[in-house]
Structure 1
Amino acid sequence: MYAIVDIETTGSQPAEDRITEIAVFIHDGNQVVDQFHSLINPGRPIPFFISQLTGITDEMVKDAPRFHEVAKQIVQITEGNVFVAHNVRFDYSFLKKEFADLGFTFQRKTLCTVRLSRKLMPGLPSYSLGKLCQSVGIPLQMRHRAIGDAEATSVLFDRLLKIDADKVNDHQEEKPDTASTISSEIKTSLLPPAISREMVQALPLEAGVYYFHDEHGEVIYVGKSKSIRKRIIQHFNIDYKSKKSVEFKNRIASITYERTGSELVALLFESDEIKKRKPYYNRAQRRSVYHSGIYSYYDQQGYLRLTYQKAKTEVAPMLTMANQFQAKNFLFSRVAKYNLCQKLCDLYKSNGACFDYQVHQCKGACIGKESPEEYNQRVLEAVEAFKYDHDSFVIIGRGRNQEEKSVVVVDNGCYLGFGYVDETFTATGLEDFKGAIKPYNDNKDTQQIIRGYLRTKHNDKVLVFS
């Protein structure tokens, strides 16, 4: 039995928006045998553009039941049935969230008619519900209303059932154990429409970087993991929380990967690939230019001062930042955490005491009240927190096979790059390791990656050079 579901909502975010209409058609594998439909009062105004799209207005839902009033009916009519929808994760995620708010766990097997249509009716120009129905001649009344879309989806599903049955029958003589596409899709309904179970199973259980491509081959997302296959399965198993995240999943047409062996190399390589390729769905590390830096110097009174300014090529900053605003905010956070002086960190311009001294939060280094020795000790603690433990070192970790090792090189506090060496490789000094790597850019992200990795429990070998 199948519960074919469609919902309308106040927006595209399950965490924030609410359901305004639901329709459920029960299909027994031969025909529709039951149905349920209701408008739902979302308890909030419906945005004007949503009303324009769906035709559902505040006036229409004013006297409609709240979700909790129809929740029992929804549970009962879907109980024991496969949850079917066009872009099933969207409808399913909204219902799960509504039930979760009531303290109830809504759990059903799911089946996506987008994925199923791509498998059983390949080559169509579009698989959106409206264009798909137009392509195959299915009437679609009341578009963007739950009752109309659910009814059209039930007709589409009926056709897909028949296509699948004919396909199985055609192959029974050659292959008696031919599996139904629908039964297979129920097991893999969480996968993007163009991704098969076989494609996922072929991925390695090893560390590396993976790429999601769209139908044109363009990289739309880059990720990394200690186990590529496990991480990608996690990607597809999550409940998508917005229309954009559903769109992202549906755009994935193929997956490629690069094995790295080393988790650290995977982290560094992913960061570089994101900056180089700038994939549409990667946001956090897309910046590739760092304009500002954090510097230090001793003034004439012997105080160790911190400052932020444009990054210089001739003098390496202790830490790079995307812009002056980020650098300034970073120093403010250090001042607060280590009880430093705003004036001596270039954050307060004054000939006298800084503002913090006036409110008793600065110990007076700005007016010579605190000695350079005492003040500088806290500055050094702050600096150590965002520097490496050693100036020059090499991290030797796992390679892509048992015959090689990965090598990451840092020289004078600057990340130079990574590479691979043979198990028999011997080095007499840092220069030998430099010759074994491919150069990569040093930036705030790589610095944070290496510092963070070295603070975790790892089995890599760290060689320190003076």
Structure 2
Amino acid sequence: MRKSIYYSYREVLFIVNQIIQRLMKYAIVDIETTGKTQRITEIAIVRYKDNQKLDEYVQLINPEQRLPYFITQLTGITDDMLLDAPTFKEVAQEIFERLNGYVFVAHHVNFDLPIVTKHLAACGITFKPKKMCTVRLSRQLIPGKQSYSLGKLCKDLGINIHGRHRALGDALATGRIWELFYDNPNFQEVFEKALKPTKGVNALPANLPLKDFEKLPETPGVYYFLNKKMEILYIGKAINLKKRVLTHFRSKSKSKITMCRETAHLDFVESGTELLALIMENLAIKKHWPRYNRASKNFSPRLGITSFKNRKGITQLGFNQLRLISQPIAEFHSEGECIKFLTELCMDYNLCPKYCQLVGASARCEDYYLHIPCDYCQEEIDEVEYNKRVQTAIESTHSDLKTEIIELAGRNVEESSFVWIEKGLFRGYGFLPKEESVQTLEDLEKFLVTEKSNPEIQGMLNRFLTDKYNTFTFPTMHQAN
């Protein structure tokens, strides 16, 4: 007589999960990019089945732009190395075939996956894999670490990285982490939770069709909440449209709950970058003034640069609240921007930091920058000559205004975007197809969306330009280092 064997529900579930886990395949992915424009320069894919490595793949990618200096310093990848490499479009199908059907695994997966997805989408390939992040796995399986960066985590686990900040070296190191975690007794439980789909769809407003939410991309842009009459209720900007919209639906604030109950439709416009999202949001709000945008942030400048003569007759520069200055030399939002502006004037015109509100009166000016005292402190020039130098510095802030173009990433890899600043004032923005040859302002103007400047946008641009972004000025058109 055959003996019957009975299993509890939990035992059956455990066995099924074990089988599913054993059948799943994983692709460990790492990419190197151009930095702010986020164009792929190298991709590595190391594929696993169960806990066994199947194969590895690495490919340099021509991003069709020059690499920033700091990227070359970080990765060792040079423009010459990428000159004869294929473009992403030329290898997109091969990359998709290597990834399709595999769980997409990466260290900081929410960085790598959106970039790969965006590149594939630009080539007409839809890619929506299951994903897993080894950073999140690390936090759950080995909690308490001070840092979960790839370098420090590998050092703690005794894993050698051969080729740090190169795609294959980092992917192989992530693969070793994956192998170690796979044998962890808690791996199965953590693994199952990580693969569960987002529960955010349960938070959608009752009147909002699921398809409206699903069509939102995970890219930068501007989003619109509309009611049943297609009236705009709210306009916002996001680096990740889908994720940002979802936070509204999860909000517990009374006004957000009321707004979401009225929301019956969603719309969006992709921007390619956060700066353009900020600008486009500002312009859209000023055009429509939606009911729930009444408390929009005020980006108007609050600090100003001023000049005055001290008791010694020396012209000093400094900053103060804008409301206390009658004729500001320049306007800024933060003390950091003011300090940067004054520091650049000091260095360009050999002014004294003590008389530019950069160090205290008792400090030595050589302690601030370059470790060299200014000409005045060395008694090489007198007060009259120093004051003339300060006046020249002040005049330069007004006479040096040029037509400047900020070059940014596009909405896909086939285009770039730009912001046009004419004589210090915002004129508009546009999107430029990569196949277009632009040599003059007239060429670029065909793609310009002309808009009216306002203090908020000027403030955004002032803050943006304090960082090192790619810009070029006319008549010579080039991309600055």
TM-score under structure 1 length normalisation: 0.42
Select the structure of larger CA radius of gyration.
1
